[in-house]
Structure 1
C-alpha cells in the first residue's frame, strides 16, 4: 500500500465527514422547528379541548356515562375535565370511581385524536414571539431550498455506502496497520480502497463535495431579522406550511390524499418513481402522488380542487420525463394564463419554455420542434399547428380542460387529435362536470375510449360511488379541506338586500321586456339609489380600514364600470382600485394588473369580470371577495373564490355574495344549490349519491326562459317573452 491508497482513504474520510456534518446540520434545523412548534401546538390543542363540550364523551362511550352532575359542577368542556383530574371529579356528588375512570379514559382518547389532528395556523397580522420563533426556524429550511434537501438525501445515501467501506479500508490508512493486518484483512482493505476510489470519482463527477459544502452553509445561515422571516413567510407560505406538515408528521389523511382510488391503482401509483433532477420546488405528499398518477396511468384527468397546485404537479411530470430523455412538451391553456404558465415553468423547473402566441407563433413553433423544451399556447392557436408524430411529444398538458368538453367544437377536435398522437396526456380542471355527466364522459373519451364507452347512463344512475370507481383509472381529485390542513378559514356570507324603489322599478322594466340579463343586473342600473352598491361600498370601506385587499367579481362589464365609478366617488381611506380586468384585456396585461394589485402597499380593490378572472390567475393577495350577483353555473363562483382561497393564502378569506330578495337572485340561488349537489356527487366527493343527474340538469337558455316566465307571472305580466341574453 502506497501514498495513493492512503490519500484515497483520507479523501474518503473527509467526504464522509462532510456528509455526516450536513446530516447533523439538517437535523439541528429540523429540531429547531420542532422545538418552536411544540408550545404553539400545545396551546392549539388546549384551545380545541376547551371548545369541545363534555357531552361529546357520550359519543365515545356510546351513551353509558351520566354527565348531568359533572356539567352542573362547572366542568362543561373536555379541557376542564382533563384539568380537573380524578381527585376533583371524585368529589362531585353522584360520581363514583368507575364513572371517573370511564370519563377520563374517554376524555384521553378524544384528547389524543385532537393532538394528532389539530393544525397550527400562523397569524401574519398578529405576530407573537412564539410564532415568530417558528417562522424563523422554518425560514432556514425554506431558504436552503430543494437543493439542500436533495443534498441531504445524497449525503445520507453516500454515508450509507461509504461508512462501511472506510471501516474495511482502515488498514490501508497507514503502513504499520497494513503490515500488522492479516492476509484476509489486507485483501478486504485493497478491495475497499478500490470501491472508495470509485465512489469518490462518482461523487466528484456529480459535484457532491461542493453541493454538501453549499448546503451546510445554507443551513447555518439564519434570516437577517425576524421581520425578514415574516415577510418571506407571507410571500412563500405554501412552502413553509409544506415543511411544517412534513416535520410535524401531521400529514393529511392518506386515502384523501390519494383521491380515494381503488387499492390496486393506488399501489401502482405509489410504486412509480419520480425524478426531481430538473425540478426546483419541493412537492407536498398529495402533489407527488398526483404527478405519479399521471406518469403511471399515462392519460388522465387531474381534477384537484382549485388552489391545490395542479400546475406544479404538471411541471413535476414534465421534469421527470425530461430526466428520462423526453425533450418536447406542450401546454394548452386559456390566453389569460399564458404568462402565469411561463413564469411557473421558469421558476419551478430547469426546463426551457417558449410561448406560442401572437404573429410570430409559427416561427416559435419551428424553433421548438428543433430545440425542444416546453411550449405554452392557447386553444385557438393550437388549431394552427400540425399534430406531432406519434411519440414526439412527451406530455400534452391541457389546462382548464373543461373548455373542450364539447366534441363538436373545433378546439375540442384539435385537442383530441393532439392527445391521440401523444404518449401521455394530462387534462387539468377543477370543474370537470358543470351541468351534465355526459360532458365528463366526453373528456374521458379523449383519453380512454374504452372507459368512456363503459360509462352508460346506468352508471350515472347508480350514483356517484359507482361512477367514481368506474373512472378511477383516468381521474384523480382531491379537495382543499382534505389535504390543506393549514388553509385559513373560508367564510361565505349571502348578503340579502331589499331592492330600493328605484331598483325595483328597473327590475320590473327588465322583466316586462323579458330581458334575463337586464334582470340580473337591474340592481346596479340606477347607481344613485342602488341597495347592492351601498352594501358593496360598506364592505370595501371596512376591508380598507382593516388593511385588507378586496376582489370584486361581476359577470357584467357595465356593472364593473358602475362599481369603479362608485368607489372613485367614495371615501375609501386611500384604497387603490385596479382594473377592471375583463376578457378584452390582453393575457399579459391581465397578469400585470394582478401583480400590481398584489404589490400595492395597504388596502386595494381589484375589479374583475368573473368569467375572465376566475380562470388561472392567482389572487391570494386578497382576503375579501365580493360577488355582485349569483352566477348561472356554480363552478364559475367556485373558481372565482378559489383564486383567493388557495395554497399560499395566509389570511382567512371572507366571501360576500350580494343578493336581492324576491326576484331572479332568489330563483338562481335555489337552482345553483341543486347544481352544486350534482357536482359534489359525481366529481367532488366519492361517497354521496344522487338518484339521477337529469333531475337537476337544465341548459342555461332554458333556465333563463323559465325564470323570466316565472317572474312575469309573479309580477302579473303575461305573454312576455325572453328577448335578450346579452
Structure 2
C-alpha cells in the first residue's frame, strides 16, 4: 500500500496541523463522496428514465383518449346506456368522461346513477386498453423539450455505465485506502486536540496526514481526479443541449432504443414465444440460464438479442435467421465478446465482399475486439498477425479457400454472414465453408432469408452444422406453418421477425406507383419487344426524354426535398441510374454499383448520412441491397420490379431496420402495359398474362364477334421447358400482336 513516511514528510504534516489539515481532509472526503455519487449515477439515471417514459406515455394516452369520441364506448357500455344523450350534453371525448366522474354524468337529464356508473366504467376499461396498446417511441418530427430531456438522460446514462465499468476498480481502491487514513488524521485538524495527545497518537495522526498528502500528490490520483470531473459533466443530462440530443439520436437511434428497451420503453416482448423463436419451453429455459459476459461488448443488447447470443453459445452450431434489420451482427459480436472474455483467442467471420468493410466497422463500434481483414494483397501477412495475436479475422467467401492456416487455427467461433450463399454443396465456396466449419469449435450462420419455404437449401446449410438434424428435417413441417417448422428445427435454427420484437419501429407505407407510358415511352418499349431483348424491355421506361417513370420519380424526390427527407433509389441497371442521376442533378449521390469497392461504398453511405437535409442516394440493387445500413433515408424507390420479392425486401431493409426513426415510404415504380406486369406475375407466382386471359368483359361474353382472337393463350407460355425469360418476351410480343 503506502510507502514509509519520511522525516521530511512528517515535518511537512506538522506544519499543516489546524486549518491546512482540515482542507486536506475535506478535499479527500469530497473526492470520495463524488466518487460514490458517480458510481451511484447509473441507478439514479435509470430511475429518471423510467419516470420520464411513464410521464410521456401517459401524455400520449391522454391525448389519444381526448381524441376518441364517446361513441367508441358503445361496445363496452352495454345496451340501453344512452350514450347519445351523454355526448349531446357536451361530453364529447372519453377523456372528458374520465375527468368528470359519475356524479357529473348523472346530472345530465335522463341519465340515472346506474347508467352513469356504466359509462364511467366503460371509459375506464377503454383507457386501460389504450394504455396497454400505447408504446412510447421518439418522434424526431415533433422535437418537444420533454423528448429531448429523455434523450439527454439516456446520453448521460450511456456515459455513466461506461464510467462505472472503467473507473469503479480504481475509485473503490482509492476509497478503501483513504477512509482509515482520514479517520486517523482527524486530530490534526485541531491544534488543541494535538497538544493533549500522547506522542504515539500524535505520530499516528501525522503519519496518516502525510500519507493523505502523498495520495493527493500522486500523478495517478491527479489524473483520476481530472477523469472524475469530465465524467461528472458527461453523466449530467444538463450537459447536452436539445440540438445535440436530437443529432445523436438521429445518427444512432438503434443504441438509444436498445438502452430504452431495457428500462420499460421502446420495448419488445422479450418473454414471448415469438421473441424467443417459438422454441420448446424446456430448451428455452436452458438457453435463458446461460450466463452472458458482455464486458468486451460496448453495445447495449436488447432482450431478444441477448437470448440469440445465449442460444448460439448453448447450441454451439446453429443458424441465426432473424429478419433483416434486427441486428444479427451485434448478436454475433456478443457471442464472440463472451467467448473472448472467457479466454478464447481466435474468431473468423466469412461474408460477401460487399459487407467486408461494414463488418470491420461494426466490430470496432460495438466491441473491444480487434479486427483483421484477410482480403486483398496483404492477406497473408495479416493472417500471420491474426494467428499470432488473436482477434476477429474477417474474410470473404471467395478468399476463404485460399487462406493458409485456417484449419490449424483452432477457431473458437466461425460466423458466416449471408450464409444462404453457401446453400449449394457442389460449389467451391460452399466446400470451403464446410471445411472451415469442421475445424472450428463452434459455428454460427447468419441469414435473413426465411428458410420455411426453402427446405432443401435449409437442409444443406444444416448439414454443415449438425448433420444428424439435417437428416431428420421433414418438408411437411414447413408446409404445416412457420411455428411448427421452427419448433421442429429449434436445436439448430432461431428466427424472430420485426413485428415480434421491434415495437418502436415507425410505420412502413408501401405504394405501387403505376404510370401510363407516354407516346415516346410506347415507341421505345415496342422497339425493345420487337428486338426480343428482355434487359432492354425492363429499362425502356427510362429511355424517353419525357419518361413517365422519370417524371413520377422526380415528383417523389421533390416532395422529399420539401420535407427535408433523404431518399434512396434502387435499380438493377446502370443506364437507369445514370438517367435518374442526370434528372436529379447535384442532390443525387453515388451511384453505388458492383464496381465500387466495399470500403468506398461505406464512405458514400456515411457521407449521405452526414449531409444536412435532403439527398438522394442511387444504388444498384444487387450491390446496395445487402449489408449496408442506410437508416438516414426514409423514402425508398425501386425503379423496376425484380425477379424475386426477396431482392426488393432486402433493399427496403437497408432503410427499414433497427435505428430507423421516421416513417418509411416505399415506392415501386411500375408501368402499365409493360413487362413490369409480367414480372409482378412472376413475383406473385401467377400465370403469365394472368390479367389478360383470366378476365372477360361482359361485352365479349355477350357477342362472340367482340372476342379478341389474341385471347387464345399460346401453349408455349405454360411450357416449363422454355426458359422463363424467353416466355416473358413471347408473352409481351403476343400481347402487342408482334409476331
Q: Answer whether TM exceeds 0.5 for this pair.
A: yes
In structure 2, the partner of 1:440 is 458
Task: Confirm whether residue 541 of structure 1 aligns to residue 558 of structure 2.
Answer: yes
Structure 1 pair 94–477 and aligned structure 2 pair: CA distance change class (3 A): farther
Corresponding residue SS for 2:410: coil
Task: Tell me what 2:9 maps to.
Answer: none
Q: Which residue of 2 aligns with 1:297?
A: 315
Please say if residues 582 and 613 of structure 1, whose CA atoms lie closer than 8 Å, have aligned partners that are also in contact: yes
Counterpart of 2:291 in structure 1 is 273
User: What does residue 636 of structure 2 align with?
Assistant: 625
> What does residue 182 of structure 1 align with?
none
Alpha carbons of structure 1 residues 89 and 262: separation in structure 2 relative to 1, 3 Å: farther
Change (3 A) 1:212 1:594: same
Give per-residue Cα distances to partners, 1:470-503, cap 9 Å, x unaligned.
1222222222233222222222221111111222
2:477 pairs with 1:456: no
- Indicate if the aligned counterparts of 1:146 and 1:281 stay in contact, CA closer than 8 A: no
Tell me the residue number matched to 1:200.
Answer: none
Distance in 2, matches of 1:224 and 1:51, equals: 34
1:712 equivalenced with 2:733 (yes/no):
yes
Question: What value does the CA root-mean-square deviation take over the aligned residues?
Answer: 3.9
SS where residue 491 of structure 1 aligns? strand
Q: Where in structure 2 are the equivalents of 1:76-91 lying within 5 Å?
A: 78-90=94-106
* 1:528, distance to aligned residue in structure 2 (A): 0.5
Q: Please name the residue that 2:702 is paired with.
A: none
Superposed displacement of residue 383, structure 1: 1.6
- 2: CA distance between counterparts of 1:340 and 1:294? 22
Q: Which 10-residue stretch deviates more, 99-108 or 593-602?
A: 99-108
SS in 2 for 1:330: strand
2:544 paired with 1:527: yes
State the match for 2:395 in structure 1.
Answer: 377
Please say if 1:124 is aligned against 2:148: no
Deviation at 1:590, TM superposition (A): 1.1
- How big is each residue's C-alpha offset from its partner over 1:612-652, in whole Å with a ceiling of 9 and x where there is no partner? 10111111121221110111111111111111122222222
Instruction: Choose which of 494, 510, 521 in structure 2 pairs with 1:503.
Output: 521
- Residue 614 of structure 2 is aligned to residue 603 of structure 1: yes
1:467 to 485, 493, 498: 485
Cα pair distance change 1:65/1:655, threshold 3 Å: farther
For residues 647 and 112 of structure 1, do their structure 2 counterparts lie closer, same or farther at Cα, with a shift above 3 Å needed? same
State the Cα deviation string for residues 61-95 of structure 1 (Å, max 9, x = none): 79897856666767675445434532454456776
Distance in 2, Cα, partners of 1:62 & 1:151: 60
From 324, 329, 335, the equivalent of 1:317 is: 335
TM-aligned CA deviation for residue 549 of structure 1? 1.5
Cα distance between partner residues in 2 of 1:325 and 1:304? 28
Contact 1:432 1:440 survives alignment (8 Å): no
Q: Which residue in the other structure is 2:417 paired with?
A: 399
Counterparts of residues 91-130 of structure 1 (less than 5 Å) = 96-130=112-146
> Deviation string for 1:144-169 (max 9, x for gaps)?
1642364799899x99xx9xxx9xxx
SS of residue in 1 equivalent to 2:267? coil
SS at match of 2:297: coil
Question: Where does residue 342 of structure 1 map in the other structure?
Answer: 360
Tell me by how many angstroms 1:373 deviates.
Answer: 0.8
Check the 8 A contact 1:632/1:700 in 2, yes or no: no
Measured in 2, the distance between the counterparts of 1:700 and 1:288 equals 49
After superposition, the Cα gap between the structure-2 partners of 1:146 and 1:334, relative to the gap in structure 1 and judged at 3 Å, is: farther
2:636 alignment partner, SS class: strand
Between the aligned partners of 1:239 and 1:615, the Cα distance in structure 2 is: 21
Question: Which runs of structure 2 are paired with 1:7-406 in the superposition (5 Å)?
Answer: 21-22=37-38, 24-50=40-66, 57=73, 78-90=94-106, 96-142=112-158, 144=159, 146-148=161-163, 150=165, 218-220=234-236, 222-248=238-264, 251-254=267-270, 255=272, 256-386=274-404, 388-389=406-407, 392-406=410-424
1:36–1:137 CA contact under 8 A, matched in 2: no
CA contact (8 A) 2:643 2:683 kept: yes
Contact between 1:303 and 1:430, CA under 8 Å: does it hold in 2? yes
Contact 1:329/1:395 (<8 A) preserved: yes
CA–CA separation in structure 1 for the residues paired with 2:597 and 2:439: 31
What number of residue pairs does the alignment pair up? Answer: 646
Q: Cα distance, 1:583 vs. partner?
A: 0.6
Contact kept? 2:160, 2:235, Cα under 8 Å: no
Q: 2:590 aligns with which of 573, 579, 583?
A: 579
Q: Structure 1, residues 91-111: CA drift from partner, whole Å, max 9, x if none? A: 567765444434433432342
The answer as to whether partners of 1:25 and 1:220 remain within 8 angstroms in 2 is no
CA contact (8 A) 1:406 1:439 kept: yes
Change in CA separation of 1:65 and 1:503 when aligned onto 2, cut-off 3 Å: farther
Question: Gaps spanning 5+ residues in structure 2: where?
Answer: 5-27, 187-219, 687-718
Q: Which residue does 1:9 correspond to in 2?
A: none
Distance 2:81 2:466 in 1: 55
* Partner SS state of residue 619, structure 2: strand
Cα separation, partners in 2 of 1:70 and 1:416, compared to 1, 3 Å: farther
Q: Distance in 2 between matches of 1:225 and 1:700?
A: 66
CA distance in 2, matches of 1:208, 1:413: 54
Instruction: Supply the distance in 1 between the matched residues of 2:576 and 2:129 (Cα, whole angstroms).
Output: 49
Distance in 2 separating the partners of 1:700 and 1:155? 74
Query: Whose relative contact order is higher, 1 or 2, with alpha carbons under 8 Å and at least 6 apart?
Result: 1
3-state SS in 2 of match to 1:521? helix
Please give the alpha-carbon distance, in whole angstroms, between the structure 1 residues aligned to 2:495 and 2:266.
Answer: 21
Find 1:613's aligned residue among 609, 612, 624: 624
**What is residue 677 of structure 2 aligned with on the other side?**
666
Structure 1 residue 264: deviation in Å?
A: 1.5
Q: 2:652 aligns with which of 641, 644, 648?
A: 641
Q: Is the 8 A contact 1:328 1:392 kept in 2?
A: yes
State the alpha-carbon separation in 2 of the partners of residues 261 and 382 from structure 1: 33
Contact 1:151–1:211 (CA under 8 A) maintained in structure 2 = no
- 5+ residue gaps, structure 1, are 5-11, 175-203, 569-574, 676-697, 719-726
1:611: Cα distance to partner? 1.0
* Deviates most, 15-24 or 101-110: 15-24
Give the 3 Å change call, closer, same or farther, for CA 506–249 of structure 1 in structure 2. Answer: closer
Instruction: After TM superposition, give the deviation of residue 504 of structure 1 in Å.
Output: 2.0
